[in-house]
Amino acid sequence: MAEYDDEEEGIVHPADPAQPLVDLVNSVNDPQAQEVMRDAAIRIQDYTVRRQIADDNQAASDRLMTNLGTFKDGLTALASSDPGAVGLGVSVAPDMIDGFVSLNPFLPDDQKDAIRDSITRDIQTEVVRAGVLSAADKDEALARALLDAHSGLLDDNARTGLTGYISAMASARNMDAEASARQRNEDSIRLTNHSTVNYLNALVDPKTGEVQLPPQFAQRVTADPTLPPGASAAMLATFNRVRDGDGETDWHSFADMANRIANGQQVPLDEVFGQIGNGLKVADAALLARGSVDSMAPPAQREFRQLDATIQAARQMLAPPEYGVAGTRAFERFMSWMVPQYRAAGPGSLNPNAETFILPREGGATFWNQFAPRLDDFVTAQAAPPERPSLEAIFSRGRK
């Protein structure tokens, strides 16, 4: 045991008591008491040294785990961002881990091999898992190839989980692709329909409701990329058909279409276009076409429900079955007045709460009387005379 002399120079051994303890021992004059104090100082110093060694070992272990964690995170991030680097990550892990473990002076030599193998396998497993998951998000074939190539690094549960994820993501991608394709198709149809309705509206004079022929109309329709060939052909055929006249609207056909739209049914534009000039004026066809295109939108449904309710009320009042032809003509007179008024006043004009309401709020009887059946509506159809047999038929019967 070294003498505890304040003036002694030299390097202090870690097992020697700290200077405050030396000073404490030297401050006692009684030799026996000094021995007791010296033994206590040695025990205190022994604890301090062992505690320092333990702290150093823990710090070294913490540094090792931090370095390993950083290395592991780096490899898994590389595999996740680039699944093709999985093989690289798996191959470099053993050498890097061997370096970490071998150079650590605080790990017991008899445990280094087991520690090296455990850490290496853990990192390789995480690298493979990260790469397979990343690949599964993009490419089923690549993900399965990676899993097959490195399946030996995974246990059964890990392989089963990754296999299920690959299949689930492939199915999800197919579902998303189908949904996207359907949505693109619906968007394309919607764009085409709206473009077609806009061109149809361009053929209507907003002031008179009669046909107008805009300059270079056919050229613009032909050059419009939002119109597929079929829609362009239908629009051009309609334009050609109405250049010489608009025709009249069959109000019963109009009422039936309006009823279908009010009930959420999309009347095909082909059906509407097919009756333009032959049962539908262009302005009335444009009204139905616009409602049909927007039939699933709440505002359009609400608007056409009001229109249909007005039409059905007029039918019940003016054209009950017992009125026959006279009721039919009375209903047609009302429709010939109401629909142009409705087009001119705009949406909401059949709502009793709207300022633009086109029907009377009071004095309804007088209003409806102007459309009621008249004397000249009661027309009795003449029965056609019976067909007279020919002379040949008469003589043929006689011969028989």
Residue 324, CB-side half-sphere exposure with 13 Å CA sphere: 8
Between CA 34 and CA 29 the distance in angstroms is: 7
Burial of 49: CB neighbours in 10 Å, binned 0-12, 13-18, 19+: middle
In contact, 307 and 342? CB cutoff 8 Å: yes
Question: Tell me, what's the pLDDT at 96?
Answer: 77
**Which letter, b or e, does each residue of 326-365 get, where b requires 16 or more Cβ atoms within 10 Å of its Cβ?**
bbbbbbbbbbeebbbebbeeebbbbeeeeeeeebeeeeee
Question: Tell me, what's the pLDDT at 395?
Answer: 43
> What DSSP string describes 165-208?
HHHHHHHHHHHHHHHHHHHHHHHHHHHHHHHHHHHHHHTB-TTT
In contact, 348 and 299? CB cutoff 8 Å: no
Question: Tell me, what's the pLDDT at 384?
Answer: 39
In contact, 159 and 144? CB cutoff 8 Å: no
Burial of 74: CB neighbours in 10 Å, binned 0-12, 13-18, 19+: exposed
In contact, 284 and 242? CB cutoff 8 Å: no
Residue boundaries of the structural domains of the chain? 19-154, 246-377
3-state secondary structure 81-101: HCHHHHHHHHHHHHHHHHHHH
Residue 382, CB-side half-sphere exposure with 13 Å CA sphere: 3
Q: Of 30, 27, 125, 12, which is closest to residue 75 (Cα–Cα)?
A: 125
Please state the length of the chain: 400
**Residue position matching structure tokens 């394709």:** 181
In contact, 226 and 204? CB cutoff 8 Å: no
In contact, 276 and 240? CB cutoff 8 Å: no
Question: Tell me, what's the pLDDT at 177?
Answer: 93
pLDDT tens, N- to C-terminus, the chain (400 residues): 444 444 444 444 455 556 666 666 666 666 766 676 677 777 777 777 777 766 666 666 666 566 667 778 888 898 889 998 899 888 888 877 777 677 666 667 777 788 778 888 888 899 999 999 999 999 999 999 999 999 999 999 999 999 999 999 999 999 999 999 999 998 888 888 889 999 999 999 988 889 999 999 999 999 999 888 988 998 999 899 888 888 899 999 999 999 999 988 878 888 999 899 888 999 999 999 988 888 767 887 888 999 999 999 999 999 999 888 999 999 999 999 999 999 988 888 998 888 889 998 766 677 888 898 888 877 543 333 455 454 455 445 444 4
Between CA 279 and CA 281 the distance in angstroms is: 7
In contact, 177 and 145? CB cutoff 8 Å: no
Residue 169, CB-side half-sphere exposure with 13 Å CA sphere: 19
Question: Tell me, what's the pLDDT at 8?
Answer: 47
Q: Of 290, 267, 266, 265, which is closest to residue 343 (Cα–Cα)?
A: 290
Question: Tell me, what's the pLDDT at 10?
Answer: 45
What backbone torsions phi and psi does residue 280 show, to the nearest 5 degrees? -145, 130
Q: Of 267, 264, 312, 309, which is closest to residue 286 (Cα–Cα)?
A: 267
Q: Of 269, 265, 257, which is closest to residue 199 (Cα–Cα)?
A: 269
Quick one: tokens of 179? 């949904």
Helix (H, G, I), strand (E, B) or coil at 320: coil
Cβ neighbors of 34 (< 8 A, separation 6 or more) are 25, 26, 28
